[in-house]
């Protein structure tokens, strides 16, 4: 399986709560790191347990994925991980997902997940989360805005 196909299948499995597929796509030594809280989750089973404990918000999510081409897939998700993945990029041993997640209190956060591939499976995932913020006035004359 190519890295692009792995990235696409992995992202779709996360957003659709397809834990079985995720387990198939994750290395036996899978580790997920969340540097902002300092947490490390060792193993797919523990990641699933955390995800299942998460206060659910649910809803539809659009997933933007691709390799050479981008496509949008609509999927139903009971997960808090949505709205959409905004971009995906990668090489032969890593891929990065940029997106947004909605927390149970309805706040929207940006997320970047960097996934490392070993032996054709995701072995490490490092996710960074941040709240959107208002741009400071002092630089408003030298920036553009992405709407």
Domains and CATH numbers, the chain: 3-131 (3.10.450.50)
Beta strands in 43-107 (DSSP E): 59-66, 70-77, 85-90, 94-102
Q: What is the pLDDT of residues 20-40, one digit of tens each?
A: 999 999 999 999 999 999 999
> How many CB atoms neighbour CB 120 within 10 A?
12
> How many CB atoms neighbour CB 34 within 10 A?
15
Over residues 124-130, the mean pLDDT reads 93
Please state which of the ranges 46-60, 83-97, 115-129 shows the lowest mean pLDDT. Answer: 83-97
What pLDDT was estimated at residue 83? 42
- The DSSP H or E segment spanning 109 is strand 108-118
Sequential DSSP letters for 3-61: HHHHHHHHHHHHHTT-HHHHHHHEEEEEEEEETTTTEEEESHHHHHHHHHHSPP--EEE
Beta bridge partner(s), residue 66: 70
pTM (whole model) above 0.85 = no
Q: What is the pLDDT of residues 36-81, one digit of tens each?
A: 999 999 999 999 998 888 776 444 444 433 343 333 333 333 344 4
Tell me the longest C-alpha to C-alpha distance in the chain.
50
């Amino acid at each position: 399986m190519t890295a692009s196909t792995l990235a696409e299948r992995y992202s779709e499995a996360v957003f659709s709560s397809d834990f079985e597929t995720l387990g198939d796509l994750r290395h036996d030594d899978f580790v997920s790191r969340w540097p902002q809280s300092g947490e490390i989750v060792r193993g797919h089973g523990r990641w699933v347990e955390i995800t299942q404990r998460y206060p659910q918000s649910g809803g539809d999510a659009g997933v933007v994925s691709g390799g050479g081409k981008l496509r949008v897939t609509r999927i139903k998700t009971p997960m808090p991980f949505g709205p959409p993945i905004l971009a995906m990029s990668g090489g032969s041993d890593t891929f990065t997902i940029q997106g947004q997640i909605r927390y149970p209190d309805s706040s929207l956060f940006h997320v970047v997940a960097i996934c490392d591939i070993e032996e054709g499976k995701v072995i490490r995932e490092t996710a960074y989360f941040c709240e959107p913020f208002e741009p400071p006035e002092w630089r408003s004359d030298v920036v553009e805005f992405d709407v």
